[in-house]
Amino acid sequence: MLNLAILISGRGSNMENILKAIKKNKIPIKPVLVIANKPDAKGLDIAKKLGVKTEIVESNGLKGGNWEYDSKLVSVLEKYKVTPQNGLICLAGFMRIMSPEFIRHYKGKILNIHPAILPSFPGLHSQRQALEYGVKYSGCTVHFVDEGVDTGPIILQAVVKIKDDDTEESIAKKILKQEHKIYPKAVKLFAKGKIKIVGRKTIIS
């Protein structure tokens, strides 16, 4: 069975939801570790309560995309046997850009959830970007992480309708509900070996 690590920076609701779905739906993957880059990440306590080991790898001012930081992540991941051969890494609100070295090391083994229908509104504050642009629909995307920002092959997407009186917060809430549906589904597909990357697309069997 694959070993799963989930990386978070804060609240950890996607992490919690994935961990619960693994138990409930018997997804064939073993959650071995949750890593936060911030010691006060709320999700750490939730992970502990759900019986998953936690580690803090503090960024200490090191900018995203930095191998000095990411190599520390690799050491911790290896300690818990999350390897390129038998591991999956889920970024769940992990608000750092990964370095090219990290991405190459775990090529095809890193998933991310993004709160927009990519390729629209990549990067930060996607819900605000959607509101300000005036789109009528937005949503979320689970994708593989490649060396660009939110550019990797798309696995699953879900759409929400934006109403005239929506705010950034109300959009975020609607999108989060959909995130909680599609991220565990994507983990299940991956764990069952059902996702193939072909060029920049995925084919799901």
Which residues have a catalytic role annotated? Answer: 114
Closest CA to 68 of 79, 57, 56, 80: 57
Gap between the Cα atoms of 43 and 21, Å rounded: 16
Residue 128: strand, helix, or coil: helix
Which CB, 94 or 190, lies closer to ligand GAR?
A: 94
Interacting residue with ligand GAR among 2, 6, 7, 12 (CB under 6 A): 12
Pair type for strands 137-144 and 110-114: antiparallel
The verdict on 115 binding ligand GAR (CB under 6 A) reads yes
**Contact assessment for residue 23 and residue 4, using Cβ atoms and an 8 Å cutoff:** no
Structure-block tokens of residue 66:
């930095």
How many residues bind to ligand GAR according to rule CB under 6 A? Answer: 13
Pick the closer one to ligand GAR by CB: 3 or 14: 14
- Is 174 a binding residue for ligand GAR by CB under 6 A? The answer is no
Closest CB 198 distance from ligand GAR, rounded Å: 25
Q: Decide if residue 139 touches ligand GAR (CB under 6 A).
A: no
131 DSSP assignment:
H
Name residues contacting ligand GAR, limited to 26-85 (CB under 6 A): none
Q: With respect to ligand GAR, which residue has the nearer C-beta, 6 or 77?
A: 6
For residue 176, give every residue at least 6 positions away whose Cβ sits within 8 Å of its Cβ, in sequence order, or none: 13, 115
Which residues of this chain interact with ligand GAR, rule CB under 6 A?
Answer: 8, 10-14, 92-93, 113-115, 176, 179
